[in-house]
Each structure stands twice: as structure tokens, then as C-alpha cells.
Structure 1
Amino acid sequence: MSETFFANLDALVAGTTVTVDRPKDSVHPRVPQAVYPVDYGYLDGTTGGDGHAIDVFRGSATGSGVVGVFVTADPVKRDAEVKVLIDCTPAEIEQIRRLLDDVLEIGGLLVSR
């Protein structure tokens, strides 16, 4: 993967506030069986593929920074998005993958740093 891509993500994250609107262990608003394994939110003042702010998962490995992204495709919403992984451990990344693949059924292609 291009180091320029991750350097650009680092710059976005460093210059932006992360807003958590679904804290760890909260339930997805439309899918009650989906429980967030880490904090989920967005980067204020950014725009993602769906026209809304860039989505982020923030884990417990404080100081690790951007460790990768999941690329998702949702046929119901008819969109594809990038979800940035910040401060996530390998175990948390696996939990997020299971949430995206098995519960939300939108898939998630992991691009590790």
C-alpha cells in the first residue's frame, strides 16, 4: 500500500477532531444484534464516499495512530466507503471485521498499514 495514502490519512486525523457517536458496546441504531466492539464515529469536517464525514473505528491501543482501513460495500445503501482504523489492536481489528462481515453483512476488505 502506498505510504503517501497513509501519510495523507495521518494528516487528516492529526488535524481533525474524532467525534464518537457510537461508543464501544453500544448497539447499532438499525441492527439491534450489531454491538460495536470499539468506539465508532467520524472525522469532523471531512467528506467520505457517501457524502458524509469519514467513518472511523477507534480502539484501545492509544498512540498507535492509523493502523489501516476497511473498504466496505453496502448494496442496500448502494455505496462503498473507507472506514479508518485508529489505535486498533489486531484483536479489535478482527472484531470489527466480524461486525462488518458477519453481522452487518457489508463486508470489509482490510488494508493494513
Structure 2
Amino acid sequence: MTTHTQLPPGQRFFTNLDRICASARLVVDRPKDSRHPRAPQAVYPVDYGYLDGTTGGDGEGVDVFRGSAEGAGVVGVFLTADPNKRDVEVKVLLDCTGDEIERVRHLLDDVLEIGGLLVLRQDSQAA
């Protein structure tokens, strides 16, 4: 019988997400301070885009919010459920500081009103 190294809860998810992010090109289609195309009151606090060649919950590339903490890597995810679009997605937080995470939360919860469950990486310095 093969013995597998036990990882802390959730660590395999983030390790796999690291691999996906490292192997895909990030396409930023909504740069920091740009407005949402269908909700002009929504201004992106960090770069927003998707990982080329991946598939998220909506059938498009995996969504990514990229902050200013270059080299921090994947610090967490927001899980969103949008009843208007009838979709559920994972939005990756890449290189985000704690303040940037809070501003993304404000965008999702208060401005776009879709809400987001924040799941921080346990070994992240962003909290």
C-alpha cells in the first residue's frame, strides 16, 4: 500500500490552483480602475481577468483578481453565487494584499450585490 503525505485541509486545492495559475497566461480584460461593462457604478479595485486555456464555472476562463503584492501568489478565492446570471464561480485572488481583498469584497458584496464567500489560504500573508 502506498502512503500519501497528508496535507492540511484545503492545501491540495491551493496547491492545484498554484499549478493551474503557473501554467496559464493571465489575460487582464478589466484593468484596475476600469468600470464594469454592464454596471458602470462598479469600478475594479485591482486588475481582473481570466486564465487563458482554463474553464471556470461559467464555461469561460477561470476568473482572477490580481493585486499589487507581486510574488505573493494565490492568497485565496471568492466563491460567488449570482442568482441573476444563475451561475456559481470561483474567483482567484492572486498577489492581493489584505486591503485589496477587502476592496474586492466590497465590489462583489456591496456594489455588484452578488456576494462572495472568502476562503483565504491558511499560509497566506494577505489576512
Q: Taking structure 2 as the reference length, what is the TM-score of the superposition?
A: 0.88
Opposite residue 100 of structure 1, the aligned amino acid is L
- Kindly state the Cα deviation for residue 110 of structure 1 after the two structures are TM-superposed: 0.2
For each residue in 1:39-94, what CA deviation from the matched residue of structure 2 results, as whole angstroms up to 9, or x when unmatched?
00000000001111100000000000000000000000000000000000000000
Match of 2:13 in 1: 5
- Kindly state the Cα deviation for residue 2 of structure 1 after the two structures are TM-superposed: 1.1
RMSD over aligned CA atoms reads: 0.5
- Kindly state the Cα deviation for residue 10 of structure 1 after the two structures are TM-superposed: 0.1
Q: Does residue 52 of the first structure (1) align with residue 60 of the second (2)?
A: yes
For each residue in 1:13-52, what CA deviation from the matched residue of structure 2 results, as whole angstroms up to 9, or x when unmatched?
0001000000000000000100000000000000001111
Q: Taking structure 1 as the reference length, what is the TM-score of the superposition?
A: 0.99
Which runs of 4 or more aligned residues in structure 1 lie more than 6 Å from their structure 2 counterparts after TM superposition? none
Provide structure 2 residue ranges, at least 5 long, that are not aligned to the other structure. Answer: 1-8, 122-127
Identity of aligned residues (%): 73
Q: Does residue 43 of the first structure (1) align with residue 51 of the second (2)?
A: yes
Match of 2:72 in 1: 64
Q: Which has more radius of gyration?
A: 2
- Counterpart CA distance in 2 for 1:13 and 1:79 is 22
- Counterpart CA distance in 2 for 1:47 and 1:90 is 27
Provide structure 1 residue ranges, at least 5 long, that are not aligned to the other structure. Answer: none
SS of the residue corresponding to residue 37 of structure 1 reads coil
SS of the residue corresponding to residue 50 of structure 2 reads strand
- Paired residues, what number? 113
- Counterpart CA distance in 2 for 1:84 and 1:64 is 13
1:73 is aligned, of 70, 75, 81, to 81
Match of 1:96 in 2: 104
2:27 is aligned, of 16, 19, 28, to 19
